[in-house]
Amino acid sequence: MITTVTLNVAVDKAYTVKELNKGEVMRVLQCSNTAGGKGLNVAKVVKLCGEEVLATGFVGGHNGAYVEDLLKEKMVPSRFVHVPGETRSCINVLAEDGSSTEFLEPGEPVRPEDVQNFLDQFDEIIRESNVVTISGSIPRGVPSDIYGSLITKIKGAGKQVILDTSGKLLEEGVKSRPTMIKPNDDEIEALLGVPVTNREEIIEGAGKLQKMGIEIVVVSLGSDGALVVTEDGVLQGKPPKIEVVNTVGCGDSMTAAFAVGLSRGYSIEETLRYAVAVSAANAMTMQTGNFRQKDMERILPEVEIKRI
């Protein structure tokens, strides 16, 4: 089973508008609500890939109950810690010029006893999982080294863990050497304290992180696909040109597909091909954390894998 950790769950709202003008009344043409927070996007995609999944984290209030219902509709099982604070909303405004403007609420604070309840149930969840993904931001009240503690527990139980976060949470988390991370160029720069301005420096930086004891370092490059650095070297996977509808959640789809590849014991090359196809297919639908099987199957053989 693949478990996805989402401490800062959200109701994701995608608003379609003609144009976005600051300071004006904007009429929304279409609104779509989905269970969000990066980890829940991962959970939905793992489910669509056909793997057994469990979503965990904190939920609260009416929005929290709504997220649980949205997950049930997608047949994604969940075991959340219920907290008094209302679960947040995140809004993504999609305009006709192709722009995407995101408003991410911080999330209501959680209490120390909520954090303890989460940790208490986590050991049992790890026993049932073979891969755990940890994604996104945390609400106030959660200690900034929590991801490090979770990674230490997961690795101590002999299971694999993917960490996809940023800033201080990533800095703290990498100290516990997760199996895989997915930093962007800014995050590599922050982790290593060196400038990263071009593809060569990205590869060099990712290589340094890999040598520090992180087995798999993935750097996604939008429409250029992704780079994967392991002890066997560097691979790039590039998708064919596709019709893009909404790229929000592409990174999460990639994380989900890597978790599936690890869980199924795919080679790193097979995993990269699959992850590029799944994440590119996610860009072809409006909903975050969603893809159509037929899109993914069409893209899969067209992903170009090259050793660098």
Binding site for ligand FBP (CB under 6 A): 8, 10, 12, 36-38, 41, 90, 104, 136-137, 248-249, 251-252, 288
Which positions from 175 through 214 interact with ligand ADP, judged by CB under 6 A?
none
Q: Candidates 39, 85, 173, 239: give the one binding ligand ADP (CB under 6 A).
A: 239
The beta strands (E) that lie in 129-179 are given as 131-135, 160-164
SS3 assignment, position 10 = strand
Buried b (16+ CB within 10 A) or exposed e, 200-214: ebbbbbbbebbeeeb
Question: What is the H or E stretch that residue 307 is in?
Answer: strand 304-307
Q: Catalytic residue at 123?
A: no
**Per-residue DSSP letter, 239:** P
Q: Candidates 133, 160, 279, 290: give the one binding ligand ADP (CB under 6 A).
A: 279
> Annotated catalytic residue: which of 12, 164, 185, 252?
252
Taking the least distance from each CB to ligand ADP, the nearer of 76 and 303 is: 303
Q: Which does 139 bind (CB under 5 to 8 A by kind): ligand FBP, ligand ADP, none?
A: none
Does 276 help bind ligand ADP (rule: CB under 6 A)?
Answer: yes
Can you tell me the distance from the alpha carbon of 271 to that of 182, in angstroms, rounded to the nearest whole number? 14
Q: Which does 10 bind (CB under 5 to 8 A by kind): ligand FBP, ligand ADP, none?
A: ligand FBP
Look at the block and give the residue holding tokens 């099982």. 77
Token representation of residue 130? 């073979």
- The least distance separating ligand FBP from the CB of residue 36, rounded to whole angstroms, comes to 3
Taking the least distance from each CB to ligand ADP, the nearer of 59 and 218 is: 218
- The least distance separating ligand ADP from the CB of residue 88, rounded to whole angstroms, comes to 19
SS3 assignment, position 192 = helix
Taking the least distance from each CB to ligand ADP, the nearer of 125 and 219 is: 219
Long-range pairs for 100-105: beta carbons < 8 A, 24 or more residues apart: 100/246, 100/247, 100/248, 101/20, 102/248, 104/10, 104/137, 105/10
Stretch that binds ligand ADP, among 45-53, 84-92, 123-131, 250-258 (CB under 6 A): 250-258
Does 300 help bind ligand ADP (rule: CB under 6 A)?
Answer: no
Could you give the residue numbers annotated as active site?
A: 252
